[in-house]
Amino acid sequence: MRWVHWTWKMTGLLGLLGLFAGAVSSLLGIGAGIIIVPALSYAWDKFYDAPQKMAQGTALALMIPMAVAGSLRYYFCAEASNWRIAVPVYVYGLVSSAVIVAIPLLFAHYTQHTNVLGHVDWHTAAMLSLTAVAGVVWLGAPLANVLPTETLRHVFGIMTIIIGIRMLGWHMVLYNLCAGKGG
């Protein structure tokens, strides 16, 4: 296992990934792992022995802060312009992220087992939390509350089909057919 070298470009890309995943997650009520796991797994192929497991564990570390922030935004009607609600919900999501990141790291430090942290890249989880919670609070949940139910159903259905095609590996068959290469 090699350590991921952080650059400004990577930080920006992770930030955009988190923002997009948070927005889509809270817009459609799906897990952000649908977006984050494939992106991180592909990006980490050369850095980790088990990139899929690292991506899954890291995505799971985002679940609680995003779920807390999203459910609070839905509860408070998710008006994007209502900063008196959005800012405390965002801060609460970030505090829960910090707690979720800190507990295993502190436990490992105090028990002197720093090499047993498993399949979670905590630095990436922390970075993604910053922007994923912002995507939940200021983009996805407010948009979901203004869109008609029928539109949300259609977007959810299209997203489900795209994800299904990708997960079954049929995307390459479709690509080859569209490119005229045959099956």
Residue 2 lies in a domain: no
Based on the structure, what is the number of domains in the chain? 2
What's the pLDDT at 116?
Answer: 56
Residue 157 lies in a domain: yes
Answer yes or no: do 163 and 129 share one domain.
Answer: no
Give CA angle at 11 (10, 15), nearest 5°. Answer: 115
What's the pLDDT at 137?
Answer: 87
Answer yes or no: do 141 and 157 share one domain.
Answer: no
What's the pLDDT at 94?
Answer: 80
Answer yes or no: do 46 and 116 share one domain.
Answer: yes
Q: Which tokens sit at 182?
A: 């045959």
Q: In terms of pLDDT, which residue wins out, 156 or 10?
A: 156
Answer yes or no: do 155 and 101 share one domain.
Answer: no
What's the pLDDT at 64?
Answer: 82
Q: Write out 111-161 in H/E/C secondary structure.
A: CCCHHHCCCCCHHHHHHHHHHHHHHHHHHHHHHHHHCCHHHHHHHHHHHHH
What's the pLDDT at 166?
Answer: 77
Answer yes or no: do 134 and 177 share one domain.
Answer: no
What average pLDDT score do residues 110-139 get? 81
Question: Is pLDDT at 183 greater than 60 in this prediction?
Answer: no
Question: Is pLDDT at 68 greater than 70 in this prediction?
Answer: yes
Answer yes or no: do 133 and 158 share one domain.
Answer: no
Distance of CA 130 to the CA centre of its chain: 11
What's the pLDDT at 81?
Answer: 65
What's the pLDDT at 16?
Answer: 94
What's the pLDDT at 96?
Answer: 78
Answer yes or no: do 167 and 97 share one domain.
Answer: no
What's the pLDDT at 132?
Answer: 92
Percentage of the chain modeled with pLDDT above 70 = 90
Answer yes or no: do 166 and 102 share one domain.
Answer: no
Answer yes or no: do 49 and 102 share one domain.
Answer: yes
Q: Which amino acid is at 93?
A: G
Q: In terms of pLDDT, which residue wins out, 5 or 65?
A: 65
86-117 residue pLDDT tens: 888 888 878 877 777 777 777 777 887 666 55
What's the domain range around 93? 8-146
Mean pLDDT of all residues in the chain? 82
Answer yes or no: do 15 and 53 share one domain.
Answer: yes
Answer yes or no: do 154 and 142 share one domain.
Answer: no
Residue 3 lies in a domain: no
Residue 1 lies in a domain: no
Answer yes or no: do 100 and 157 share one domain.
Answer: no
133-172 residue pLDDT tens: 899 988 998 899 889 999 999 999 998 888 888 777 776 7
| pTM attached to this predicted model | 0.77
How far apart CA 129 and CA 57 sit, in angstroms, is 14
